[in-house]
Amino acid sequence: MPDRIPVEKAFGKLYDIVRRLRASGGCPWDQEQSAYSLRTNLVEEAYECVSAIEEADDENLREEIGDLFLVAAMIARIKEEEGTFTLKDVFEEVCEKLIRRHPHVFGDVKKETAGEVLDQWDHIKENIEGKKAKNSVLERVPRTLPPLERAFFIQSKVSKVGFDWHKVGPVWDKIQEEIEELKEAYNNRDYRETEREFGDLLFTIVNLGRLMNIDPTLALNSTNQKFINRFQELEKRLKNMGLEPKEADLDHMDSIWNQIKKGK
């Protein structure tokens, strides 16, 4: 591991800077932060890393990973100041966990497939580390997860105890069933029931994605960006015609949109 010492020095430098920012005479903004106030920053930096990965922008990814480490280091420093734990505690715990959960690498256990490794991971987590759910497999579902991620998490949990579809086919039928129920609620002008049925439909679509090994959040993020790119191109073409979107009729915009979709 020839780069071990330079990496240690580089991270040590980052943590020294964080200490300086938080110390007397440091930065007023950084001094005012708490772990709670930095929640949004942590999520934003993680999503910006994902965006850079999806765009294959390695230069930006390098920067975003740095920003993510910065926020994590800031939170760790705050907890160290509070006397809760230190960054050393964090690293020691995760290292011990990785070694413990990889006996096929750091011990004599033989595992040949990724599936076997995941089963072993869950077994160690539940039976050796004592993290097995006491009353329900869903008692540790994080409430702070965004809805799509939470649905995916819930479905993955119950799948491990056998409550799952074995094939994709029946899910298509379930989606159609949910669509019909949504239509009925909407036609009955029952707002609350319409909302519930809409949620059921989304939950089932997340299940479909999971069974197809598709992360629904990443898929939706990709579609969001695709729409943004196409709409900005639409705006550009309308501007070249001396028009704004609100000045053009829908049929005209649809025609241009379809050309953009076809790459014309």
Lowest mean per-residue pLDDT among 61-75, 144-158, 197-211: 144-158
Whether the Cβ atoms of residue 168 and residue 211 lie closer than 8 Å to each other: yes
Over residues 90-130, the pLDDT tens digits come to: 999 999 999 988 888 888 888 878 888 888 877 787 777 77
Helix, strand, or coil here: 88? helix
SS3 letters across 136-193: CCCCCCCCCCCHHHHHHHHHHHHHCCCCCCCCCHHHHHHHHHHHHHHHHHHHCCCHHH
The length of the chain in residues reads 264
Average pLDDT of the chain to the nearest whole number: 91
Average pLDDT for residues 219-232, to the nearest whole number?
93
What pLDDT, on the 0 to 100 scale, is given for residue 58?
Answer: 96
